[in-house]
Amino acid sequence: MHLAVVDPEVGGERRAVAVRTAQDDRVLVGPDNGLLALAIERFGGAVEAIDIAHSRHRLEPSSATFHGRDVFAPVTAYLAAGDPFADAGEPIDPSELSTLHMPTATQANGGLVAHALAFARFGNVMLDAEHAELVASGLKLGHRVTVNEELAHYARTFTDVPPGELLLYEDAYRTLALAVNRGSAALHLGLGLDAEVHIRPA
């Protein structure tokens, strides 16, 4: 059971939804504004969805601008306690859920083309690729790679490379990231948000 609320259009036309996913029968609750899209994709896609704006579980009276408290939280609590999913709202077609268009990593020229999705305050760069995608490109943990023509090491942790050296590693979210041991990979590579990152065997 997962609840997320980032809802700048609260009280507007966006729907309030609960979504059941294919993987592990997970349930996601939140505004239908793209916030849940990546989680839905990560958990195998939506198999069932309901509009919970007028759910029998919501608090009454409900505020027009405080749906986190009055709609999302109570519906999530009832579902977590075992109430039937279908009874919490009106059914909607899962294909109608809002999507979030993000760059995706692709195989190309004997390597991988990924994108810079986010930057940590230390200059680490989070990518839109996972370990399995590197394996498919023939890149192996412990081996040298090139990242935008710069030499790097596909390593397990920062201490696997000397200070100042660029490394590619799997971060806490099990996605790939770039770092410089005691430095900034973002500055070292001159990367901006959504920039392409070309990774190949060295």
Residue 147 has which token pair? 């990242």
Tokens of 113: 């083309």
| Beta-carbon contacts of residue 190 (< 8 Å; ≥ 6 apart) | none
Architecture of domain 106-201: Beta Barrel (2.40)
CA–CA distance, 131 with 143 (Å, rounded to integer): 14
pTM across the whole model: 0.67
Torsion from C-alpha of 37, 42, 45, 51, nearest 10 degrees? -40
pLDDT (0 to 100) of residue 17: 98
- Cα-flanking dihedrals φ and ψ of residue 156, to 5°? -85, -35
Domain map (residue ranges) of the chain: 2-96, 106-201
The two tokens of residue 195 are 């920039």
The confidence score (pLDDT) of residue 101 equals 77
CATH topology of domain 2-96: Rossmann fold (3.40.50)
pLDDT at residue number 92: 97
pLDDT in tens for each of the 202 residues of the chain? 999 999 999 989 999 999 999 998 899 999 999 999 989 988 999 999 999 999 999 999 999 999 999 999 999 999 999 999 999 999 999 999 999 877 778 888 888 899 999 999 999 999 998 877 777 777 778 889 999 999 999 999 999 999 999 999 999 888 899 999 999 999 999 999 999 999 998 8
Q: How far apart are CA 16 and CA 107, in angstroms?
A: 37
